[in-house]
Amino acid sequence: MYSRASAASTTSTAIVTLIRSGAPNDKKVTLTGGAVYPIGSVLGIVTANKKAVLSAAAASDGSEEPQYVLNYTVDATAGDVEAMAIETGDLIGSQLVLGAGHTLASIRAGLRDKGITFEG
């Protein structure tokens, strides 16, 4: 019937599954350049320029409040990059990448209010 595709490469990377159930809704965001953002990054939005960064609890520019979760790894080292981020959905908490000072407990209520839930 169906067969699995075989990889031509001898190297592989682990598949990261973010979605626990259902189909999430996505939103295009602009990631601030200068970093590589791994899949599952919890993003905050800088109020002044409306760009996304990894949310850190001690930030005071608006990005301290988690807003979205990045769908895939993005290399923005060369400059700002547009990417798709999860706006609403039911995710796997252990797969989230948290910025400094955040824990799953500290981001749970804020993300739940925005429509993102997770176990763990």
Closest CA to 36 of 97, 87, 89, 95: 97
Q: For residue range 15-49, what is the model confidence (pLDDT) as tens digits? A: 678 999 989 999 999 999 999 999 999 999 999 99
- CA 2 from chain center: how many Å? 32
Q: What is the pLDDT along the chain (120 residues), one digit of tens a residue?
A: 444 443 433 444 556 789 999 899 999 999 999 999 999 999 999 999 999 999 999 999 999 999 999 999 999 999 999 999 999 999 999 999 999 999 999 999 999 999 999 997
What does the alpha-carbon distance between residue 92 and residue 89 come to, in Å, rounded to a whole number? 10
- DSSP state at residue 34: S
